[in-house]
Structure 1
Amino acid sequence: MSFENTQISEHDKEVLDRLFNPNLPYGDVVEDNKDTPSTEEEVETDEIKQVKILEADGVKAAESGDLHKSLDLFSKAINVLPRRASGYNNRAQALRLKGDIEGAIDDLNKAIDLSNGHGQVACQAYTQRGLIYKLEGMEEESLEDFKHAASLGGQFAKQQVVAMNPYAAMCNQMLSEVFHKIKCGEM
C-alpha cells in the first residue's frame, strides 16, 4: 500500500510531527480562543504604525547581532506608546540575549501586566519568562508560566508542560521509541 499520493490535513501532519519529534519545539502558535478578550489595538493610529516599524527594525537589529541598536529601537517604541505590551516583550528578548536577566524579567512582568495576562503578547511573555526561569533552575515558577501560556494557546508552552511532567515525559519517550522502531521496520 502506497501513501505517497494520499492527502493528509495540516492538523494530521502536525500530529505526526509531534509524535515523531516529541522533544522539538513546534512553534508558539496561539490558538484563536473566543473566550479570551483581545488586547490588540483595533484602530491602527500613526503612533501604532510608528511603533510597529520601530519594533520590526529592533527585531532585525537583534537578528543581525546588533543588540545595542535593537535595545535602542525597542526603548524608542516604548517611549512612543508606554502602555503597549509588545514593546516590553520584544525588549525583554534583547535584554535576555545581552545577559540582563533581571531587566528581561522586569520587562516581561510589565508586558504581562499591560496585557492583563491575555492575548498573544501575554502568551509570548509567559513563555519567555518560563524559559528564563527554567534556565535559572526555578522549575516551579517555570511550570506555572508555561501553564499560563498553554492556557492562552501557546503550543510550545503546552509541550513544555508535558515535558516537565515526569510521567508524561516517560510515556512520550516510550511512544517515540515505538514509532522509531516501526519507522525503521523493527516491529
Structure 2
Amino acid sequence: MDSLISKNDKSVLQMILNPNLPFTEQEDNIDSVEDPDAHFDAVKVEKVKELEREGVKLAENKKIVESLSCFDEAIQILPERASAYNNRAQTKRFNNDIDGALEDLNRAILLGNNRGKVVGLAFAQRSIIMKLKGDDEESTKDLKRAAELGNKFAKQELVQRNPYAALCNQMLSQVIGELQGKSDES
C-alpha cells in the first residue's frame, strides 16, 4: 500500500497524525544535509570522534570526571565542531551542572548553524532542561525545532504533549489499518 501513497499524501498524513510538527515536504531529505565535518582536517576529526566515543563510554560507566576530560580534549582540538559540546552537555546534565549543560547546548546550536542531526539533538536536550526548569513554552519551541531537524524523540514528545493529536493519531491508524485489511481482501 505504501507505493500507492504519493509524497504529497504522506505529507498530509504527517500533518494530520502530528499536528504539532511543522509541515514540510522535505522530511525525507533531512539527513541529506552536507557532512558537518567536511571542512575540518580529517585526522583531527578522527581523533575527536575517538575522544567522544571514549567520553560516552566513560559517562555510561558513571566515570563523569574522566568523561568530561575526553570531551574537553576534543573541544580543545576542534573548538568549532558542535558534537563534543553536545556530548559534554549531556554529561554535565548527568552531573547536575544544568547551567554548564545549557551553555554547551547553546554553543552546539550556534556552531551547527541551526541545522543537522547534532543540532537537533542539542535542541531536544535543551528542551528537556527547559521543561525541568518549568519553562514549557521554551521547551516546546525547542522540541519543534528539533523535530524540524528530524529528531525522532522530539517528534514523539510533541505528539505526546498534545492529547488531541494522540487521539487523532490513534483513530487515523485504526482507519488506515481497516483500509489495508480491505485492500488485502481484494
Question: Under a length normalisation based on structure 2, what TM-score does the superposition of the two structures give?
Answer: 0.72
- Percentage identity across aligned positions? 46
Corresponding residue SS for 2:45: helix
1:83 to 77, 80, 84: 80
Q: Deviations over 1:68-107 (max 9, x none)?
A: 1000100110001000000100000000000000000000
Cα distance in structure 2, aligned partners of 1:121 and 1:39 = 11
| Structure 2 counterpart of 1:185 | none
Residue 30 (structure 2) pairs with residue 41 (structure 1): no
Gaps of 5+ in 1: 1-7, 9-29, 179-187
The one-letter code matched in structure 1 to 2:63 is D
Q: CA deviation at 1:162?
A: 1.7
Q: CA deviation at 1:156?
A: 1.1
Gaps of 5+ in 2: 3-26, 175-186
- Is the CA contact 1:162–1:169 (under 8 Å) kept in the aligned structure 2? yes
Corresponding residue SS for 2:30: coil
What is the number of equivalent residue pairs in this alignment?
Answer: 150
| Structure 1 counterpart of 2:143 | 146
The one-letter code matched in structure 2 to 1:59 is V
Q: Deviations over 1:34-72 (max 9, x none)?
A: 7x7435112661111110110000000000110110001
Corresponding residue SS for 1:33: helix
Q: CA deviation at 1:164?
A: 2.1
Give the structure with the higher percent helix.
2
The one-letter code matched in structure 2 to 1:124 is L
The one-letter code matched in structure 1 to 2:43 is D
Q: CA deviation at 1:135?
A: 1.8
| Structure 1 counterpart of 2:158 | 161
- Is the CA contact 1:32–1:153 (under 8 Å) kept in the aligned structure 2? no
Question: Under a length normalisation based on structure 1, what TM-score does the superposition of the two structures give?
Answer: 0.71
- Is the CA contact 1:92–1:103 (under 8 Å) kept in the aligned structure 2? yes
- Is the CA contact 1:129–1:145 (under 8 Å) kept in the aligned structure 2? yes
- Is the CA contact 1:111–1:122 (under 8 Å) kept in the aligned structure 2? yes
Aligned residues: CA RMSD:
2.7
Q: 5 Å matches for 1:121-136?
A: 121-136=118-133
Corresponding residue SS for 1:40: coil
Further displaced range: 153-162 or 94-103? 153-162
Cα distance in structure 1, aligned partners of 2:136 and 2:80 = 30
Label 1:55 to 1:31 Cα distance change in 2 as closer, same or farther (>3 A): farther
Label 1:63 to 1:45 Cα distance change in 2 as closer, same or farther (>3 A): same
Cα distance in structure 1, aligned partners of 2:71 and 2:127 = 21
- Is the CA contact 1:143–1:164 (under 8 Å) kept in the aligned structure 2? no
Residue 85 (structure 2) pairs with residue 68 (structure 1): no
The one-letter code matched in structure 2 to 1:114 is L
Cα distance in structure 1, aligned partners of 2:28 and 2:107 = 23
Corresponding residue SS for 1:137: coil
